């Protein structure tokens, strides 16, 4: 009689799978909770302890770590020596192994102690999976309930050998992912470097996307299982599935608005801000943000630092507006109804509920970007302990100017370099993004701001190499500038600001964004 060992944390569909094995005349061996579920369903089960001759030990830490199990999993039945050793030891081979692992992710996602996290680490399960996967020429290893029906069909047809290589690969992915999550969690607990010699990043697929940046590119969406915030942890409340480009813009919008005060709104198009503002209400914040560039805002992504109520939804759904995605910490029922009343909006706009900014605080946030043949890893661009700004000019900015400089500086770090942002203490008026030279970025930002640039301030993500940009800004009516400083020509730049009557602050921090 062939033998199947079933030991699963996720017990969905396990009864049906076991019934299918019994119908194929398999002996079903099981452990603890799985055995109990199967017996309640009337399925005859042999306890693992019957095979090993030992009961579960050490609070369940040791159940299957025994030669009676692992020899049965690892024996090459094409080897006469292996078969002879099994026979002499009274061990039967295991033909099917169905195991999935302790839910470590669920444990660390809830309130827990370090001791509880340790106890959620599965030892016997990964050992069995790896053994069965290594011996996939003889053993069918199953780690995913979605594969139960296919495995049973192939067992009935006698064609299971054809799918074993794919099941083997899936099994090793399963244990590698599991171990990577554990390693990352305890690396954080131990406060280890975010740049270890061997970097493992386990991601779980959330969706196959229709396509990538362009229709000819295939793409999928993966999420970080232990990152508590961000777009990856958001919930789609309404609208179509998100596209690859939607997700990129949603991430950019949420990262920006998270750095702005509560009730702020940020609008993103093609990865860059085309509007950002803080009004008296979220609705006013959106209207002010949209005014910066209504042409670009059409078809963009809007994010709110806080909830969206009915008044905000009415402003968003006004005739002439259209947004691909709206992100907020909450949507009132009235707000959702307003979107549904607009036929185009109700069918197309995606409403994303994201966890409030700051939920990532217990983790060091790491940025990973692929290059051909490798990856670049860096700490996220956040000023952990920002130093005091220094006023470098004879003119000191007023309180309003300083507030405006800080608001625009928060925006500038989310704009592709060379980045220039023009605005007031409550709104962005113009942006110059992704230009090959800073002078052109200044011109574009001022051109977009128009007459409103008079009396506004300007933020630059990096230093000015020459005074020409200061001259251009002063000619447009800019009253104060914030920049990192650090150019060999800082003296000339400061001197030009003094000559033209501008205030200039140095932050000492650069915010390139490539």
Q: Is 505 helix (H, G, I), strand (E, B) or coil?
A: strand
Residue with tokens 């963009």: 300
Considering all CA atoms of the chain, what is the largest pairwise distance in Å, rounded to the nearest integer?
Answer: 96
Residue with tokens 């020509």: 489
Q: Is 300 helix (H, G, I), strand (E, B) or coil?
A: strand
Kindly tell me the burial class for residue 311, based on how many C-beta atoms sit within 10 Å of its own C-beta (0-12, 13-18, 19 or more): middle
Whole-angstrom distance, CA of residue 200 vs CA of residue 186: 13
Residues marked active site are found at: 134, 270
Q: Is residue 474 within a helix (H) or strand (E), and if so which, with residue range?
A: helix 468-475
Residues 285 and 310 sit within 8 Å (Cβ to Cβ): no
Task: List 351's β-bridge partners, or say none.
Answer: 238, 326
Give the contacts of 272 (CB within 8 A, at least 6 positions apart). Answer: 252, 415, 416, 431, 433, 434
- Phi and psi for 249 in degrees, rounded to 5? -70, -35
N-to-C CA span, the chain: 62
Q: Which two tokens stand for residue 352?
A: 């994303």
Whole-angstrom distance, CA of residue 514 vs CA of residue 502: 29
Residue with tokens 């040791």: 62
């Amino acid at each position: 009689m062939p033998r199947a060992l079933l030991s699963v944390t996720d017990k969905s569909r396990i009864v049906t799978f076991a019934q299918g094995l019994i119908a194929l005349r398999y002996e079903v061996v099981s452990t603890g909770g799985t055995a109990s579920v199967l017996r309640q369903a009337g399925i005859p089960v042999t306890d693992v302890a019957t095979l090993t001759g030992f009961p579960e030990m050490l609070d369940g830490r040791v159940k299957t770590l025994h030669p009676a199990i692992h020899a049965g999993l690892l024996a090459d039945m094409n080897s006469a020596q292996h078969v002879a050793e099994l026979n002499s030891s009274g061990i039967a081979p295991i033909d099917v192994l169905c195991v999935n692992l302790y839910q470590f992710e669920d444990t660390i996602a809830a309130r827990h102690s370090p001791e509880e996290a340790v106890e959620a680490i599965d030892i016997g399960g990964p050992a069995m999976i790896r053994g069965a996967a290594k011996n996939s020429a003889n053993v069918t290893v199953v780690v995913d309930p979605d594969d139960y029906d296919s495995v049973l069909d192939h067992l009935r047809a006698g064609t299971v050998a054809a799918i074993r290589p794919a099941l083997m690969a899936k099994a090793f992915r399963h244990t590698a992912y599991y171990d990577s999550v554990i390693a990352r969690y305890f690396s954080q607990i131990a406060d280890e470097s975010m740049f270890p010699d061997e970097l493992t990043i386990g991601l779980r697929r959330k969706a196959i996307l229709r396509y990538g940046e362009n229709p000819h590119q295939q793409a999928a969406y993966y999420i970080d299982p232990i990152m508590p915030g961000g777009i990856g942890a958001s919930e789609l409340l309404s609208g179509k599935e998100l596209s690859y480009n939607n997700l990129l813009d949603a991430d950019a919008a949420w990262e920006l608005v998270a750095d702005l005060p509560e009730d702020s709104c940020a609008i993103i198009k093609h990865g860059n801000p085309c509007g950002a503002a803080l009004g008296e209400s979220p609705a006013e914040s959106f209207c002010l943000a949209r005014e910066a560039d209504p042409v670009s805002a059409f078809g963009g992504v809007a994010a709110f630092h806080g909830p969206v109520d009915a008044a905000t939804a009415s402003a968003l759904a006004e005739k002439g507006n259209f947004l691909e995605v709206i992100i907020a910490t909450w949507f009132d029922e009235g707000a959702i109804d307003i979107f549904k009343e607009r036929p185009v909006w109700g069918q197309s706009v995606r409403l994303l509920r994201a966890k409030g900014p700051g939920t990532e605080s217990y983790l060091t946030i790491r940025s990973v970007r692929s290059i051909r043949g490798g990856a670049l890893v860096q700490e996220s661009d956040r000023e952990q302990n920002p130093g005091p700004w220094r006023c470098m000019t004879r003119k000191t900015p007023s309180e309003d100017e300083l507030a405006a400089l800080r608001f625009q500086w928060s925006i500038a770090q989310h704009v592709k370099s060379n980045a220039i942002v023009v605005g007031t203490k409550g709104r962005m008026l113009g942006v110059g993004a992704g230009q090959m030279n800073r002078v052109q970025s200044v011109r574009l930002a001022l051109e977009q701001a128009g007459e409103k640039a008079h009396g506004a301030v300007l933020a630059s993500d990096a230093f000015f190499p020459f005074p020409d940009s200061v001259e251009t800004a002063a000619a447009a009516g800019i009253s104060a500038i914030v920049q990192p400083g650090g150019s060999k020509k800082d003296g000339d730049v400061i001197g030009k600001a003094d000559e033209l009557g501008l205030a200039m602050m140095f932050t000492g921090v650069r915010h390139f964004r490539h």
